[in-house]
Each structure stands twice: as C-alpha cells, then as structure tokens.
Chain A
Amino acid sequence: MAGTKWMPRWFYQLASPRWCYEFTGKLLPWCAAVAGILLVVGMVWALAFAPPDYQQGNSFRIMYIHVPSAILAQSCYMMMAIAGAIGLIWKMKVADMVAYSCAPIGASMAVIALVTGAIWGKPTWGSWWVWDARLTSMLILLFLYMGVMAMYAAMENEAMAAKAASVLALVGLVNIPIIKYSVDWWNTLHQPATFTLTEKPAMPAEMWLPLLVMVIGFYCFFAVSLMMRLRNEIIRRERRAGWVRDLIVAYPNTGKR
C-alpha cells in the first residue's frame, strides 16, 4: 500500500476490524430503532390504510413485502460482489467479512420475494407458481446466492474461501444482466401477456408512499442484520487479538457491547 496517499483516511480506518467493530457498535442501536419503526409503520400502513387495488383487491397488499424484498435481494448481491472485489483487490479482511455476512441475508430476501410472489400469484393468476420472468430471474438469483454460500461452506481455509467466493460472486454479477435479458426473452415466448405483478404505472401517492417506507425500512433491517453478523465475524476471526480478549473478559460485567 506504499505511495497511496491519495486514499482518504476513512478508507484505511475501514480496513481495521477493531475500528469497524466499535463504529458498528455505536451505529447499531440507532439503525435497529429506525428499522423497527419504519417496518412497523410501513406494515400497518400497507395493511390497513393503503387502498386495495381495483382489480386484485386486498391481495395487492402483498406487493408491499414483495417489492422491497426483491429490491433488497438484488442490492445485497451487488454489495456482496463489490465487497468481495474490494477484498480481492485491496486484500482487506473486513471487506471479506462483509461479503460473507451479506450472503445469507440476501438469500433470505430472495426467498421472501419468491414466496410472496408465488402466494400473490395464486389469487391473481390462479396457481401457486408461475414461470413469470421476474420470479424466474429471482429464482436464478437465489441459486447464485446458494452457490456462493456453498463455496464458503466447502472450504475450511477462510482466506481461500473468501477469495473463491468473491470470484464467484463477481462472475455471477456479470451474468445477472445476461440472465435477466435471456429470461425476459424466454418469458415473452412462453407466457401469454398478462398484467405485470408489480409496479402498476403511475401509482398514486397513497400507494407508493407506504411502499417507500417499506423499502427504506427493509434497507435499515438489512443494515442491522449485516452489522450484527459482521460483528460476530470480527470477534470470531480476531479472537486472538488483545482488544477482543479484553472485550470478552469485560463482557459479562459491563453488559456494554
């Protein structure tokens, strides 16, 4: 890293697991509070106050879960791939840990999107699963997540696992537009044109406001879950370090995290 004075100081700080641990420790309670409030408010709004769709009736309320989780599943994959790339290029342990922590969260988001999409499909299209372009793309995204998670699980050497999984995540990232395009094309061939599952054109404010609240709430939840997993990873990998031992020894006494 010689001669890299143009890197801002926070970039070096980020590389320190200890600094990350302390920073996330301060950030976590706030994020959790915001996430909790936004999700509760959003859900109540979506369930009780948003208008039902004139065609789909009340099952349209599933959108307020389906869309945010789909957005999160995709953002999380991008984050995982970028964190993996940073870990590969700059050999930053923290970046590897972030990528590792992202994977299960993103996979859960993909599962939520798929399950809610399937359940939404039943009253809308009459069957529990439809090979619709978006659902199929989300399924393939879930497969990509599972491949990355399997890669982490298969290798005991953590550094090697992180590198291999990062390469895989990046290859998957390049493939995602290709997969989307091919599934869209395949779907136009094999599916009669039906109205789309999400995002009717020009949603009125009573509909997109709660959706926005839910999307931001889900992002905050993602940050909370990521930070919690990251902190566990940091403790686990840095367990030999002095600051971790001091922390553990002081843990039951102070209750401060």
Chain B
Amino acid sequence: MANMHTNTAEVSLFTLFGAVLKRDLLLSFRNKSDLVNPLIFFVMVATLFPLGVSPQPNFLSEVAPGVVWVAALLATLLSLDSLFRSDYEDGTLEQVILSPQPLMVVCFAKVVGHWMTTGLPLTLLSPLIGLMLFLPAEGMFGLLSSLLIGTFTLSLVGAIGAGLTVGLKRGGVLISLVVLPLYIPVLIFGSGVVEAAAMGIPYDGFLAIMGAMLALGCVLAPVAISAAVKISVSG
C-alpha cells in the first residue's frame, strides 16, 4: 500500500476506485472463512425447503426459481453487516470521510468488492442449487443472468442499510428489517426471469427491467450510502 498515493489531490477517480477495490479484496481474502460462509448458508437454506416442505420433484421444480432467489437474497443480507464494520471499528472509515477523495467513489468500490466476494460466487454456485431443486435445464441461463444482475443490485441497496447501521452495537436484525422491503422488487423480477426461463417463455423484458433497477441503483445508491456512512460516523 506504500505505492498507493491516494491522498493527493491529483489522483484520478479510476485510480481511487482501483485502490479501494484492491484493498477490500485483499482484506477479504485474508479471512477465507468469511468468503465461504455465505455460500454454505446459501446451500443450507436451499436445502431447508425440500426438508421442511416436500422433496417431490414436481413441487420443487415449481418453487425452485423463488427458493434459489430467496436463499441468495438472504445470504447476501447476512454478509452485508461486515461491509463497513471493520473499517468503522479501526477508524479507517472516518479517515476516508475526512479525506478529499469523493466518498461516493469509495463506497461504490466497496460495493463492487462486496459483490465480487459474495454475489458473484453465489451466482456461480446457483446452478448447483438449481439442480438440487430440479430446476429445468432451460432455466439455468435465466438463473445465472438474473442472479448476476440482481445480486449487484442487492449489494448496492443493502450497502445503504449497512451504512445506516454500522454505528450500532446491535445492528444485526435491524439491517434485515430495513433492507428487506427494498429488496422485494428485485426478488419479484429476479424470480420472474427464472420462472419464465424454466417455462421456455422469453424473458428479455424482465432482464431489461432488472438492468434498469441496477442502473438506478448504481446512480442513486452511492449517494445514499455516503450519506448513511457520514451519519453513522458522526454519531
């Protein structure tokens, strides 16, 4: 990090983005267990449905789109708490806010880092879950594409909740309470894509809407995240 002169005025936004992303990825990879836990949770939650409801292939293939999406959503939610926590606790977050660098770029880079270590692995693991839940083969591509776009939106929106609750000692359930209503549109359209794909219906329209939500999130969420983080640190 000695070569990263990020606290000078002439640094470009891309350099800043790259530096923050690299740091976050480096830190994440130091605790390999933190990377794997959301994935294990994802698989376990998906397993709960056949166990708790019914293992019949007909039933499972019908509910598979929703179940995989709900499991991915919950796994993302659980991993959000740690997004800002360690930086908050050792004072890095405060330094970042005080620095002349645009906070929105830093927050966006952190979200990208979070997605690369949670959303992306979840997406790549999802066909396995789909297989366990008897999702028809036609649905797989819909599953992958909807999760690829959707998990990034989930990370963006969830980071708002993470920023708001990072200052609290018992933030745990609060972040879920705060973020879940905002996740519902993503869930509706995400599972809609998979269902349409499984039935063989064209789903480009739904993917387009998910892309629109992602675009809106990319534009608006960093504003909210930086506001949230500033509020938490100042409190």
Contacts and interface: CB of A to CB of B under 8 A. Distances in A.
Interface of A: 88, 140, 143-144, 146-147, 150-151, 154-155, 157, 159-160, 163-164, 167-168, 170-172, 174-175, 178-179, 181-183, 185-186, 189
Interface of B: 160, 164-165, 167-168, 170-171, 174, 177-178, 180-182, 184-185, 188-189, 192, 213, 216, 220, 224, 227-228, 231-232, 234-235
A151 B231 contact: no
Given A88-B227, A154-B165, A171-B224, 7 more contacts: A143-B181, A146-B177, A147-B181, A167-B228, A179-B181, A181-B185, A185-B189
A178 B215 CA distance: 13
Nearest to A181: B185
Say whether chain A's binding surface is mostly helix, strand, loop, or mixed.
helix
A167 B177 contact: no
Given A155-B235, A182-B188, A167 B181 contact: no
28 contacts: A88-B227, A144-B181, A146-B177, A147-B177, A147-B181, A150-B174, A154-B165, A154-B168, A160-B232, A164-B164, A164-B228, A164-B231, A164-B232, A167-B160, A167-B164, A167-B227, A170-B224, A172-B182, A175-B181, A178-B213, A179-B181, A179-B184, A182-B184, A182-B185, A182-B189, A183-B188, A185-B188, A189-B192
A157 B178 contact: no
A64 B177 CA distance: 32
B177 A150 contact: yes
Nearest to B161: A168
A146 B179 CA distance: 11
Query: Which of B171, B174, B216 has the most chain A CB atoms inside 10 A of its CB?
Result: B174
